[in-house]
Amino acid sequence: MSRSHFSREPNPEAAVYVISVAAELTGLHPQTLRAYERMGLIQPGRTGGGGRRYSHRDIERLREIADLTSAGIGIEGVRRIMELEHQVDALRARNEELVAELDAVRRGLAARAAAAQPANKLPVLHQAAGQSLVVWRRGR
């Protein structure tokens, strides 16, 4: 295997940590992790045999839950905060998509407008007072 293969960042969604390691990394008891799973606050991956596997993202979420509960927020409050954070993240992502789409439309319109403006090489015609017609060429 190439050296660059080993230097890549691990996928934060990869479920790699067993419950004992997840508990140690978060400072929570394994029973607490199981309780949070029953409450729907966390959804670890499962092995073929049913063992729990936690991802880096799961570990971050567990740490956030621990921080909120240690600040005195109840589990239902934690659940609501996490739902709202998820909604905010989804709205931010959608906003980024819309901004990119708008920028692409603006670039397309600007390109069309530039293409629709032919180079004006014809003489400029002006009608002066007294019904005279004056013709001159633009300066070079």
Report the top-level CATH class of 8-72.
mainly alpha
- Which secondary-structure segment (H or E) carries 29? none
Helix 56-70 to helix 75-116 angle (10° resolution) is: 120
pLDDT higher than 80, residue 85: yes
Q: Which residue has the higher pLDDT, 65 or 139?
A: 65
Do residues 80 and 40 make contact, with C-beta atoms less than 8 angstroms apart? no
**pLDDT, tens digit (0-9, with 9 covering 90-100), for 19-68:** 999 999 999 999 999 999 999 999 999 988 989 999 999 999 999 999 99
Global confidence as pTM: 0.62
**Spatial distance between the Cα atoms of 82 and 32, rounded to a whole number of angstroms:** 18
Q: What is the mean pLDDT of residues 76-97?
A: 96
**pLDDT, tens digit (0-9, with 9 covering 90-100), for 109-122:** 888 888 876 666 66
Per domain, the residue ranges of the chain are 8-72, 74-116
Q: Which residue has the higher pLDDT, 39 or 13?
A: 39
Do residues 19 and 32 make contact, with C-beta atoms less than 8 angstroms apart? no
**Spatial distance between the Cα atoms of 49 and 89, rounded to a whole number of angstroms:** 33
Helix locations, the chain, DSSP H: 3-7, 19-26, 30-39, 56-70, 75-116
Name residue 110's amino acid. A
pLDDT at position 13 is: 80
Q: What is the CA radius of gyration of the chain?
A: 32
Name residue 55's amino acid. S
